[in-house]
Amino acid sequence: MLCACFSIIYIKTHSGAAFSIAITFGTIAYHFLMRLIVGLIISQIMKNKADYNKKWYQCRSWELKIYKKINIKKWKRVMPSYEPEYFNPRTHSWDEIAQAMCQAEIVHEIIVVLSFVPIVFSIWFGALLVFVITSVVAAAFDMVFVMMQRYNRSRIVKMI
């Protein structure tokens, strides 16, 4: 909505500030909508069912070293969850929770890749550095959730 408003202002006034604000709100809207759409699509496809024993979902030894180095065990609890009820051991078995974690990981991995799509818009709008920086920051944000899922799931699978 704000992107459209500032786009109209730019078209009528040719204001550089309106142009920059329109691009900013457009990029923000892309990142929010893309996340929601990816989550909905993957949820419809996977339905929280996954084989957490597949190689893709296995935590590598080098990953565990990184997780220990960044002290993931201490800060993972403060990160938000889009649907915390999927990870509640009072209402779901550990097996179901591990499968939901696989789905969450896939969602965030796809989002990481799609976070770089806005860079293409620099062809038309310029400001390559701005698009690169916002894409890298957005991808890094979602990589945190990938790491959390992988770290937690490896512990849950051992428990199972």
Band (pLDDT 50/70/90 cuts) for residue 78 is confident
pLDDT value, residue 43: 95
Nearest to 21 by CA among 37, 1, 38: 1
CB neighbour class for 120 (10 Å; exposed up to 12, middle 13-18, buried from 19):
exposed
- What is the rounded average pLDDT of the residues 128-143? 92
What does the CA dihedral 73, 157, 59, 50 come to, rounded to 10 degrees? -120
Band (pLDDT 50/70/90 cuts) for residue 1 is confident
Find the largest Cα–Cα distance for the chain.
63
The per-residue pLDDT for range 3-46, each reduced to its tens digit, is 788 878 888 998 888 888 888 888 889 999 999 999 999 999 99
The per-residue pLDDT for range 80-132, each reduced to its tens digit, is 787 888 888 899 999 999 999 999 999 999 999 999 999 999 998 888 888 89
pLDDT at 76 over 80: no
- What region, left, alpha or beta, does residue 55 occupy, with left being phi > 0 and alpha being psi -120 to 50 degrees? alpha
Place of tokens 């512990």: 155
| pTM, full prediction | 0.86
**75 vs 50, more confident:** 50
